[in-house]
């Protein structure tokens, strides 16, 4: 999944990148991360699959 954020530096000059190379920002590397909720993680999404679930997946 890709999401754009207006608060992350993108590159280019001044506010979008080059102007941020001073002080603390010079030694920092901003990265975007995504936190996935662990509330809904169906077992069918991740292997190893049980025989019944494997047969269900093969039908699709």
Q: What is the pLDDT of residues 15-53, one digit of tens each?
A: 555 555 555 666 677 777 777 776 666 766 777 777 887
Any domain includes 4: no
Among residues 29, 27, 22, 26, the alpha carbon closest in space to that of 8 is found at 29
Among residues 35, 16, 36, 34, the alpha carbon closest in space to that of 25 is found at 16
- The domain of 21 spans 10-59
Question: What's the predicted TM-score (pTM) here?
Answer: 0.26
Any domain includes 47: yes
Count up the domains in the chain and report the number: 1
How far is it, in rounded angstroms, from Cα 31 to Cα 3? 12
Any domain includes 16: yes
């Amino acid at each position: 999944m890709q999401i754009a954020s207006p608060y992350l530096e993108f590159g280019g000059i001044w506010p979008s990148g080059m102007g941020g190379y001073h002080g603390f920002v010079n030694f920092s590397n901003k990265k975007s991360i995504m936190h996935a909720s662990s509330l809904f993680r169906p077992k069918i999404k991740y292997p190893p699959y049980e025989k019944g679930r494997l047969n269900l997946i093969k039908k699709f």
